[in-house]
Amino acid sequence: MDKKFFMLEKCLLFNGIKTEDIEASLHYLGFSIKNYKKDEIILLAGNKMARLGIILAGQVDIDKEDALGNRSIVTQIWPGEIFAEAIVCAAEASPVTVVAATDAKVIFLSIQMLLTGDEEVPAFCARLVSNLLKILSYKNIELNRKIEYLSLRTIREKILAYLLAQHKSTGKNPFTIPFDRNQLAAYLCVDRSAMSRELGRMRDEKIVKFKKNLFTLNKKILLE
Amino acid sequence: MDKKFFMLEKCLLFNGIKTEDIEASLHYLGFSIKNYKKDEIILLAGNKMARLGIILAGQVDIDKEDALGNRSIVTQIWPGEIFAEAIVCAAEASPVTVVAATDAKVIFLSIQMLLTGDEEVPAFCARLVSNLLKILSYKNIELNRKIEYLSLRTIREKILAYLLAQHKSTGKNPFTIPFDRNQLAAYLCVDRSAMSRELGRMRDEKIVKFKKNLFTLNKKILLE
DNA sequence: AAGAAGTTGTTGCATTTGCAACGGAGGATA
DNA sequence: TATCCTCCGTTGCAAATGCAACAACTTCTT
């Protein structure tokens, strides 16, 4: 198997598929690979797309921009994760913009033949489809989590909800977050300076300590 | 075919499946039916679920409640629409609470056998799975739309974004919305009185006219 | 070393928002 | 009719927020 495909074995889409079948399915799905420079746009909001993408290397942001130009980060994705699967399955225009947050390598796959269910298809396809179902379900739940943050009324609540979730998912207490301040504000959809002010207050009240991307939540907060 | 299943023919999950196969698949999926009174809880946030639900009659709200008890409506669903599909596929706890907004009738289906892809399954299953993929994709896009409203910074922007989308999806200009004021505020995650104040200002500025649930957007706004 | 560019925190200020409380309109019921 | 209840709008006020501008600090480039 080609070296550059090794990481696909860890990709949820190919979970349960034999190593030798992975490359076969790539060819079956008419793959192509493309490189992007940092900040290059991979998919612009409003466009349709016929193929889903899998990040092979680098980091990619899923963004949304409002009429006033406020950029908000919907989510980040990493090597092994896929994007555009929903708009391919639904044949709709993308509600989001996909941007390379660093230099990135992406592989694209046509999955039309998996969607109709009436053609004669190779054996591994059933597994691909059920993996796709699972991925879409996880993303659904992820979007619900995002909505949870955004539906909170104050910046402090949003920050706390995010930090608690981050603490929980890492299982550590001094823990790092994958955002710098600008990005965190964009993710929580609040003003950066207002967020910074609130973070300062929370530090004064000893709710949280932080230095760059390393955060420590007060133990009393964690007891709830 | 049993009369009470007629409406399932219009359900996206059974799209493309022959009428005689629908009842067969219901039995294959071990269906059961349950009635709910208005305000009764169908699924509580934090719980897991092994079966997805389809609304046969009535109206159902997908809710979320924050630590302070603020209720927000994530979305509404109507007869023919399904819920809990994501948490069944992902085998995760529900991030939302499902509540009967009116008296409602729900049919539950076990879909485990559709997910593994290795068992011997009836012919219609492939179609069920690809329909499920499409539904999950649509919901994904719907959640993105919701995030779009919530990421806007001011109440006015949220109201406008919602009304424009509602106008677009109905294709009419005096158009009705499916929420009363309380529900709309809960959907947009803002304070009801603050929303009411903003609606009043927007009426003063002749941006929108409204009477109960009937809204009319100013033509100048629609030209963008 | 110098300068440029990016990141983070700070502050003043106008505006927006949440909150609480109240009142009126309209519907349902006894 | 009287009463209760729900829905909707209104208002005063304190607090939160967005915005703009600036300063301190780091990183990178030249």
pLDDT digit string, tens, across residues A1-30: 666 777 888 899 999 898 889 989 999 999
Per-residue pLDDT band at A146 (split at 50, 70, 90): very high
Separation in Å: C12 C1' and A193 CA: 13
Kindly list the residues from chain A whose CB atom is less than 8 angstroms away from the CB atom of residue B52.
none
Report the distance separating Cα A130 and Cα A208, nearest Å. Answer: 41
Mean pLDDT of A136-157: 93
Give the residue-averaged pLDDT of A43-47. Answer: 95
B180 CA to C9 C1' distance (Å): 43
pTM of the model: 0.91
pLDDT beneath 50: ranges in chain B? none
- Å: B47 CA to C2 C1': 61
Statement: the CB of A68 is under 7 Å from strand D: yes
Strand C positions closer than 7 A to protein CB: 7-12, 16-21
Asked if residues A70 and B153 have their Cβ atoms less than 8 Å apart, the reply is yes
Å between CA of B42 and C1' of D22: 54
Burial classification of residue B2, based on how many CB atoms lie within 10 Å of its CB (0-12 exposed, 13-18 middle, 19 or more buried)? exposed
Nucleotides of D under 7 A from a protein CB: 7-12, 16-21
Query: With an 8 Å Cβ cutoff, are A147 and B143 in contact?
Result: yes
As a whole number of angstroms, the distance between CA A87 and CA A92 comes to: 5
Q: State the helix-helix crossing angle for A155-170 and A124-151, rounded to 10 degrees.
A: 140
| Cross-chain residue pair A134–B115, CB shorter than 8 Å | yes
Distance spanning both ends of chain A, measured CA to CA: 49
Residues in B closer than 8 angstroms to A140, CB to CB, are 86, 90, 136, 139-140, 143
- Protein contacts of strand C with Cβ less than 7 Å away: A 153, 180-182, 192-193, 196-197, 199-200, 210, 212-213; B 68, 70, 153-156, 189-191, 193-195, 197-198
Tell which wins on pLDDT, A46 or A2. A46
- Which pLDDT belongs to residue A175? 95
Tokens of B134: 């499409």
Name which of B18, B136, B55 is nearest A133 in CA terms.
B136
Spatial neighbors of B12 by CB under 8 A, at least 6 apart, are B80, B81, B82, B131, B134, B135, B138
Task: Note the pLDDT tens digit of each residue in A65-81.
Answer: 877 777 899 999 999 99
